[in-house]
Structure 1
């Protein structure tokens, strides 16, 4: 009986050690960060005016109608899929990127 108790204790200790070895690098990277935030600035768009998409609108049409350069239009509408616009979708047409 004592041999099986020792074997179980050894197995549990090994499992605990493996878990700690796995958890420590993850916790350390969350605490110290991965260093990319200092290299890659985070730009946050702030929208001041929106436009609801109408039938037949394209991103280029909307940008032209509001006299917006396409780069600026894209920067105030991050993650916009211009090939999948839908009627009523809100697009930012005036704002800033900080």
Structure 2
């Protein structure tokens, strides 16, 4: 009988720990460490309005930017769908 109680206790503890781990992962944190992993948000210090016929390549060359920096300070930018007057970030940090 004591063996059954200890097995039940161990099973209960394992289920509780499993649930804690699942909830922690679903909430995108690991056992209370959520605040220590912050995603970086791009910060723009200067913008530029796209002119007729300009491409992302033209703009990166005009402002002497690397493709990596340009992409990081302009997240979700579709370079195939630029339009005249669209504001793009040309200086900042990511």
- TM-score, normalising length: structure 1: 0.60
SS in structure 2 at match of 1:74: helix
RMSD, aligned α-carbons: 2.8
Q: Which residue of 2 aligns with 1:34?
A: 28
Structure number with the higher helix fraction is 1
Take 1:34 and 1:42, find their aligned partners in 2: how far apart are those partners? 12
Stretches of structure 2 that go unaligned for 5 or more consecutive residues are: 1-21
Q: Which residue of 2 aligns with 1:48?
A: 45
Stretches of structure 1 that go unaligned for 5 or more consecutive residues are: 1-27
- TM-score, normalising length: structure 2: 0.62
The runs of at least 4 aligned residues of structure 1 exceeding 4 Å deviation read none
Q: How many residues align?
A: 69
